Amino acid sequence: MYILEVLNGPLDGKTWPFEREITIGRDEAVAGACITLDRYISRRHAQVREEGDRLLLADLSSRNGTRLGDRRVTETRITPGERFIVGSTLLRVMRNG
Yes or no: say if 19 and 1 are a contact pair by the CB < 8 Å rule: yes
- Is pTM beyond 0.85? Reply is yes
- How far apart are alpha carbons 15 and 19 in whole angstroms? 13
**DSSP-H helix ranges across the chain:** none
The reported pLDDT for the residue numbered 92 is 98
- Tens of pLDDT along the chain (97 residues) come to 999 999 999 999 999 999 999 999 999 999 999 999 999 999 999 999 999 989 999 999 999 999 999 999 999 999 999 999 999 999 999 998 7
The reported pLDDT for the residue numbered 14 is 97
- How far apart are alpha carbons 38 and 53 in whole angstroms? 31
The reported pLDDT for the residue numbered 13 is 96
The reported pLDDT for the residue numbered 55 is 97
The reported pLDDT for the residue numbered 57 is 98
